[in-house]
Amino acid sequence: MSETYRAIELPAYNTNLIKAMLGMRLTEKTKPLPGSSQLLIRMEAVQFNPSDIAFLQGGYNIVKSLPCVPGFEGCGVVEAVGSDLNAADWVGKRVVCFTQQDKDGTWGVYFVAELHEVLLAADNLKPEQLAGSFVNPLTAWGLVSVALQRQSACIAINAAGSQVASWVIALCRQQGIKTIGITRKTETLQRLSETGFDGLVSTASENWERHFNDLAHELGCTTAFDAVGGELAGQMLNNMPPDQELVVYGGLSGRAVSGIDFMQLIFRNAMITGFNLNDWIALSEPDEVNEAYETISRMIAGQDTDPRIQSIVSPEDFVKGIRTYLGDMSAGKVIIRF
């Protein structure tokens, strides 16, 4: 008799997130075997990200054959490897994984990974610390690399209460780059006042654009990172000094980037670019990615960033976990422990 394992399965996309969640189910699947160059990972912990939520709604760029197990990242222990891999190098080792391939994802007890989808994890870190140590930190690393290439003295980032923003602050601090945070909620602004931003702006304030314009020109902010889209993206770009670049890496608002003053593009050398983690990894040398992750692991161990975990749930409570996360993303991540 074949061995089975528990996994969260998505039978159909639904733009109505409530219906998408209620349509999902905890199911039993046949335990897979790794292919010749694959690793079988027994998952320990995964977390919810905005990209996961968009995926459930069919609103993300990654589309999989359904039904499927969602989940783009997580951590676990390698249980078996294919014939082309040396078992001694992998079996029993804890790894972090990231995938956006058309196959079952990480929200299950088992996940089959390709070699390029895993990185060895530091021995001194717990599964809860590792569950979200791939997507957000490496996204921040890639974004800050853009600022370094542009020799920006200061960057701005919206969704300033996010985990990506927390990593951007920490990495910019190491590089001597000043930071301006933009957030929607006044209460988030109060919490962020002690996190190391050189300037903070709440879009709830009546004259927030003028405040941001003053800060951007005072600190020389020529690079901005946008996780929201909509008119906020245009408002950021319009209020920065010349030779500015807006790097779009998310779309939390669900709306197209808008409101950009064409005069900025023509006469002030403004640019709009996009950032995709998959592309950044593919274009980077493996040693560069490994070095980045080793630095990130040391920063996690040294508590250089605030991981902010608001809840840990079992697979049976995954709907409750998603609801908790959606209720206040800035309060911290929600993790599933297997």
Segment 282-317, tens digit of pLDDT: 999 989 999 999 999 999 998 877 678 999 999 999
Q: Are 232 and 159 in contact (CB under 8 A)?
A: no
SS3 138: helix
For residue 194, the SS3 value is coil
**Spatial contact of 166 and 305, defined as CB atoms under 8 Å apart:** yes
CA atoms 85, 91, 93, 94: torsion sign: positive
**CATH homologous superfamily for 138-276?**
NAD(P)-binding Rossmann-like Domain (3.40.50.720)
Write down the pLDDT at residue 1.
61
Q: pLDDT digit string (tens) for 55-83? A: 999 989 899 999 999 999 999 999 999 99
Nearest to 70 by CA among 60, 49, 50, 55: 55
- Phi, psi at residue 265, to the nearest 5°? -70, -40
Assigned CATH topology for domain 4-133+308-337:
Quinone Oxidoreductase; Chain A, domain 1 (3.90.180)
In this structure, how many other beta carbons lie within 10 angstroms of the beta carbon of residue 123? 8
Cα(235)–Cα(158) distance, rounded to whole angstroms? 11
**Within 10 A of 218 (CB to CB), how many other CB atoms are there?**
14
**Amino acid of residue 60:** Y
Query: Given the DSSP bridges, would you call strands 154-158 and 178-183 parallel, antiparallel or unpaired?
Result: parallel
Q: For tokens 């870190």, what's the residue? A: 125
Say what the pLDDT of residue 187 is.
80
pLDDT of residue 186: 80
Nearest Cα residue to 140 out of 126, 119, 160: 160
> Which 3 state secondary structure label does DSSP give 41?
strand
Per-residue pLDDT of the chain (338 residues; tens, 9 = 90+): 679 999 999 999 999 999 999 999 999 999 999 999 999 999 999 999 999 999 999 989 899 999 999 999 999 999 999 999 999 999 999 999 999 999 999 999 999 999 999 999 998 999 999 999 999 999 999 999 999 999 999 999 999 999 999 999 999 999 999 999 999 988 888 888 888 899 999 999 999 999 999 999 999 999 999 999 999 999 999 999 999 999 999 999 989 999 999 999 999 999 999 999 999 999 999 899 999 999 999 999 988 776 789 999 999 999 999 999 999 888 889 999 99
For the chain, give every domain's residue range: 4-133+308-337, 138-276
pLDDT confidence of residue 304: 78
Which residues, 6+ apart, have CB-to-CB distance to 289 below 8 Å? Answer: 119, 138, 281
**Residue ranges in 33-134 assigned as alpha helix (H):** 50-56, 87-90, 127-130
Place of tokens 């297997």: 338
133: nearest Cα among 295, 16, 269: 295
